[in-house]
Amino acid sequence: MDTQLLDILVCPICKGPLQHDKKALELICNADRLAYPIRDGIPIMWADQARELQATPDLAITPIDAALPPV
């Protein structure tokens, strides 16, 4: 997924930051406990397409900022 696109995407509900779960192909909003799917490289940012996350966060999720090269 394009890192420039990841830089500008926010949760459509709370406008908070998202984390990229490369393994599950999802963008995660920890504040709303929602996971937005990425299909064919395109993030689907509709609330009705998001799935609710379990009570415990997945520790394998990497914050988007951590995946970016230093400036």
**Domain CATH for 24:** 2.20.25.10
pLDDT at 6: 83
Sorted by sequence, the CB contacts under 8 Å of residue 44 that are 6+ apart come out as: 36, 37, 38
Asked whether residue 17 is assigned to any structural domain, the reply reads yes
**Is residue 1 assigned to a domain?**
yes
Res 70: pLDDT: 58
Give the domain extent around 17.
1-37
Residue 69 domain flag: no
State pTM to two decimals.
Answer: 0.72
How many domains does the chain fold into? 1
Question: Within a domain: residue 23?
Answer: yes
What is the three-class DSSP state of 21?
strand
Cα(59)–Cα(29) distance, rounded to whole angstroms? 14
The residue ranges of the chain whose pLDDT is under 50 are none
Residue 12 included in any domain: yes
How high is the pLDDT of residue 3?
79
